[in-house]
Amino acid sequence: MIKIEDNFLEFSNQYYELSKKLKYYNKEDFEKITGKFNNFPGYRTNYLDKDYPFLYYSILGSIKNKFELDLKKYERICGHAQMRFDDSEDWIHKDFGDTIIIYLSPTNEKSGTAFYEIIGDDGKEFKYRQTAMINFIHNRAIFFTEGTQHMAINNYGNNINNGRITLTYFLHHK
- Tell which wins on pLDDT, 30 or 138: 138
For 47, which DSSP code? P
SS3 145: coil
SS3 144: strand
pTM of the model: 0.93
Residue 88: pLDDT above 70?
no
Look up the CATH architecture of domain 2-173. Answer: Sandwich (2.60)
pLDDT band at 36 (very low <50, low <70, confident <90, very high): confident
Q: Where are the domains of the chain?
A: 2-173
Residue 41: pLDDT above 90?
no
Q: Which amino acid is at 30?
A: F
pLDDT band at 156 (very low <50, low <70, confident <90, very high): confident
d(CA 128, CA 134): 17
* Angle in degrees, CA 43, 58, 113, rounded to 5: 45
State the SS3 of 68-99: CCCHHHEEEEEEEEEEECCCCCCCCECCCCEE
